Amino acid sequence: MSVLVLVFIIAGLTSNLESGVRGNRQEKEAFDQKPEEVQTEQENQEEETQVVSNPNIRVLLMTNGYKNPIHSSVTVSSTTGLSITYGEKVEECEAGTEVTFMPDDSRFQSGNIRIQAKEGEITVNSLKRGYGIPSYQGILELRTTAEGIAIINELPVENYLCRVVPSEMPSGYEIEALKAQAVCARSYAYRQMAEYGYPEYEAHVDDSTNYQVYGNSAPADSADRAVQETAGQVVRLDGEIVTTYYYSTSCGKTTSMKAWGNEENDGNRYLQSVEVKDENGDYERNLPWYRWEARIPAKTLSNLVGLNTGKDIGTLQNINILENGPGGVVLTIEAVGDKGSVRVSTENKIRRAFGGKGYTIIKHDGTQVKSSKLLPSAFFTINKSGDTFVIQGGGFGHGIGMSQTGANEMAKSGKNYQEILTFFYQGVTIG
């Protein structure tokens, strides 16, 4: 009888990683190795041992609201006590004791400060996240800068993923959707671990939407299970780990890298436009962000376009969609005003051009939300009715890769996480 035993090997990444554009370098060779299988025979029973690589990831923790990477001060504690290492000295703190560090703290004279809980987690009392005051596994490293203190959380990647999954996908989603999210998050993390996104702090990623949201939601058993039951699994194309982009909700179709101004090529061929549906119709057809509408007064939209593009074209007369891409995503628009015109290309810049305060968005279920810095998606049509521009769109997010609500609806219909992933990422293997 075979027994599968997962053995996690915790190994930190070396600090001599290549620098470059975040997420676009090839992974270190070690990351491309498939889990090894070791077979031994004991007492006439065969035991399979799968060795899952579990290297450390270094995460830069942002300030409240994810506004800045540098903190004016840092306060930490632990229910089990802390060990604080600086230079050759180790300072022991009792359970529950709060320790505050300022940029001019004398302990920084010995270099970086490393903090570890005697057991369990370290609470950063000076931080607030979505679920309250956050706690972190692993080690906290403090570094001084001219502006203040940088906090780097170093921990095994599998532990990191347990706090990414519930922060990126509701923990109440179907377990197969959560597993798909776990594999996506792991693949994305491994790609980022090939180099330092913040070389000045020797950090691979930060904990915001710049990379993957980490530690913003409370830990969840369902998320832990999703990570554990997919341990070590990543998405590969031709043997290489790929960057697994994902977003909230589709309009019924996904798009390709053309949405970001990149040409389709052999390396990104797994990111193709697909119809997110089965024989019964679009998977997300009953969800709030499947369709939406915004009615924006011309004066309001004129101000937003001028502010967001940096070009004063006066009062908007018309907005023309000049080019659509795969799945119907808008690639280029032209905003025409009484003082001139401006063209905007790529989905993010187009969404930003129309983003900002001042109007309401009506969702598919009739609920309303205030506008934010980005239009919900770049899957839309736009028309002028009197002095009002009417934008009718669908989906929420960039539309490339996996739709999270689509994944959940697919899981409800009986699809497993491998089927979900190979649906959204064409021609890939999971393992």
Q: Lowest-confidence range among 25-39, 114-128, 383-397?
A: 25-39
Three-state secondary structure string covering the chain:
CCCEEEEEEEECCCCCCCCCCCCCCCCCHHHHCCCEEEEEEECCEEEEEEEEEEEEEEEEECCHHHCCCCECCEEEECCCCEEEEECCEEEEECCCCCEEECCCCHHHHHCCEEEEECCCCEEECCCCECCECCEECCEEEEEECCCCEEEEEEEEHHHHHHHHHHHHCCCCCCHHHHHHHHHHHHHHHHHHCCCCCECCCCECEECCCCCCCCCCCCCCHHHHHHHHHCCCCCEEECCEECCCCEECECCCECECHHHHCCCCCHHHCCCCCCECEECCEECCCCCHHHCEEEEEEHHHHHHHHHHHHCCCCCCEEEEEEEEECHHHCEEEEEEEECCEEEEEECHHHHHHHCCCCCCEEEECCCCEEECCCCCCCCCEEEEEECCEEEEEECCECCCECEEHHHHHHHHHCCCCHHHHHHHHCCCCEEC
pLDDT value at residue 98? 98
Q: In the predicted model, is pLDDT for residue 259 greater than 60?
A: yes
Reported as a pLDDT band with limits 50, 70 and 90, residue 187 is very high
Mean pLDDT of 147-171: 98
Q: In the predicted model, is pLDDT for residue 390 greater than 70?
A: yes
pLDDT value at residue 53? 80
Mean pLDDT score of the chain: 90
Q: How do residues 240-249 score in pLDDT, each as one tens digit?
A: 999 999 999 9
pLDDT value at residue 52? 58
Reported as a pLDDT band with limits 50, 70 and 90, residue 23 is very low
Percentage of the chain exceeding pLDDT 70: 88
pTM of the full structure: 0.85
Percentage of the chain exceeding pLDDT 90: 88
pLDDT value at residue 38? 27
Q: How do residues 41-89 score in pLDDT, each as one tens digit?
A: 333 333 333 445 899 999 999 999 999 999 999 999 999 999 999 999 9
